[in-house]
Chains A and B, each alone.
Chain A
């Protein structure tokens, strides 16, 4: 019952009949209402008729209406964005007059916003196009479907979240993936689950606690499913059943970044993104697969780099740093290499400065002691 911790309610409220992930009964109030387990009126729509739906004709008016509302929403957002861009424009002009030194920075922000606006514009045109297409197809399809109103879809399937399944071995945890995942909860509603596979001789004790700091959303867009296995030595990612299995922690982290945390990876300039790629590649080739000499070489390079720079790429933390941090604190890898002073210092600093909370992830990392 401990897992079913619902926020404490005042005494005079009906207990919310909820499960961590979903509200079972929508907002209840009062303490005299009956039977909270079923709707007062059973859904009349749920008739026994089967719905034979295929391609276009399955898009009901409701679907179109929904699309339209989404369209409107995006347009509204676009409007607000435009005013913001205008304001920014004004400000930059002002600032331009005021000081030359600040100009570059502001201009950068301005360019970013503009880029985002462009992408949204693109999305809107795409959506319009899609809608028109649908409307057209519907018009052609409707003569057939109108005489049989019973064929209308009676149920609306709930939105299906992306379910990223990561299979990994407890000795080789996907630390970078977990770090990025705890970061991207800021940008999108997420949920997670953690399971121990039957190939594991004893259940992994940390499995259910690692992601405790990530709040499970009721309607997540992304679910991270961790399966702790006894065999897989490299973490693998499976998004759909038919897709090629994706290997390695850093590749999975990349995928998560591309989904919702672009600020860590590809949002920046092509140059920076490529630099991030470069570092990640060298970690995978030298630190994971290389000989001990290559490993030590990389540490030497890193040591030199950290002597002068706080972060691997640019002046803020990026995916490259997260991958470096997780590999450099991995027990298996640490056994084979000798860390140098600047690297040790960097790990310590970073562990304190990670921009997202990771209290429960801490046991995954071996922070070197001096």
Chain B
């Protein structure tokens, strides 16, 4: 063994999560965010027997201030992110002691599917236990990586759209009427009356366009009172919404959105390959595939593909979740892409403000975008003509008095426009190939959980 010339003072704190006890020496495994290093205390002039005893009695997950010498490891260290070096301790201080019995063992939270099979059920940390003790759970390298990817998705979305000339806006979350005139809204008391939590910033995005902002986007909380306990529904999530005017065809909007997505995917591929690899280590998945430009299929083509595969469905039916997945698989087999757009949905399955198609009666200028066969964005060209909007609202039997201000906002001259809303948690979940949206929401909210 030879000394490295470099002597580092670890000013930052490390958290122990594993100790190996010995009489004359003691190993500590220190973690700093997603990186881990092996630390050794050897009986010597600077390290006393008491010091080793002190170190070996420290509780797991305690916060330490360590000073030491970085040394080349005699052999490759397994189980650490820093495989070639170890730290020989000269000073060790405990800054904050963790309780001796942790409700969740971090090693359990770190096991991958393959390791779980070996360990059996006793080594398994269930989803609920993990979420109940989210603070400890979030310390795993995988979770550290997931939320770094999530941060990057947000940053990329913001940077790319700003670059494209979009303006970031902030919309109110307390609203007077349900945005889509329907269910799925949380009612909250508001002084003497009541108000609702916004289920989409859509109306405000549209109003911003009518106020001549040309292209806008917003990132913020969205609330849905859907009593759905599925792997992909949350009652509160982060919506990344964008809305833009267009000059000639609503495909300009699709182009802009898909372009943004491709840039996000590429940005992740380039800047976060390490984090992505870390996540794949615990939750193996195939790398995300996409094309540039993105694949755009007509809804009718998608239905035809499903029918060819032996599924019976009407041309005017919406895609069920099962069929959605199936179509995603078929598209992946044929086009080898995990990201695609389904364009021109039947008018009947879209909200009242969706612009009907001119060339194909019965269809509409609307689109959904899919990642790994699951919907992540739903959008459309919106009706910007108050009369047509009124007509469509009446057709959907919506109370006109409730949406009067919405319709009125198009009476003062309004540009043709379209847009869409993206669920951030879903994008991260599907990009990484995770199986549950609760893995990509730091403190998830669903019908059964509002803590922590």
Name A's B-contacting residues (CB within 8 A). Answer: 1, 4, 15, 17-19, 22-26, 35, 37-39, 42-43, 45-54, 153-158, 160, 163, 165, 167, 193, 195-199, 203, 225, 227, 229, 238, 240-242
Contact = CB atoms under 8 A, between A and B. Distances in A.
Nearest to B364: A46
A158 B330 contact: no
Given A153-B316, A240-B308, A42 B391 contact: yes
A238 B337 CA distance: 13
B384 interface: yes
Nearest to B251: A19
A213 to B, nearest CB: 20
Given A18-B249, A157-B300, A37 B316 contact: no
Contact of A154 (B288, B362, B383): B362
A143 to B, nearest CB: 21
Interface in B287-318: 287-295, 298, 300-301, 303-305, 308-309, 312, 314-317
B316 A51 contact: yes
B381 A37 contact: yes
Nearest to A19: B249
Given A198-B269, A241-B305, A156 B316 contact: no
B54 interface: no
B157 to A, nearest CB: 18
B292 A203 contact: yes
B101 interface: no
A305 to B, nearest CB: 39
Given A154-B348, A197-B337, A38 B248 contact: no
Interface stretch (B42-50, B166-174, B353-361): B353-361
A227 B292 CA distance: 9
13 contacts: A24-B358, A43-B356, A46-B346, A46-B348, A48-B396, A51-B314, A54-B312, A154-B362, A155-B315, A155-B363, A163-B301, A167-B336, A227-B336
> Contact residue range for chain B?
35 or more
The 9 closest A-B pairs by CB, nearest first: A155-B362, A195-B291, A241-B330, A43-B361, A241-B333, A157-B300, A19-B249, A46-B347, A241-B334
Contacts of B291: 195-198, 227
A22 B337 CA distance: 24
B392 A42 contact: yes
Contacts of A160: 300-301, 304
B429 to A, nearest CB: 18
Contacts of B388: 38, 42
Contact of B348 (A22, A47, A165, A167): A47
A158 B360 contact: yes
- Majority DSSP secondary structure for residues of A touching B: loop
A58 B123 CA distance: 56
A156 B361 CA distance: 8
Given A37-B381, A39-B356, A43-B362, A24 B314 contact: no
Contact of A25 (B346, B356, B358, B363): B358
A167 B292 CA distance: 14
A158 B300 CA distance: 7
Contacts of B288: 198
B385 A195 contact: no
Given A19-B251, A165-B335, A238-B333, A154 B316 contact: yes
Nearest to B288: A198
Contacts of A199: 289
Contacts of A46: 346-348, 356, 361-362
- Residue picked from B314, B333, B392, most chain A C-beta under 10 Å: B314
A47 B384 CA distance: 21
Contacts of A156: 360-362
Given A53-B314, A154-B348, A160-B304, A198 B290 contact: yes
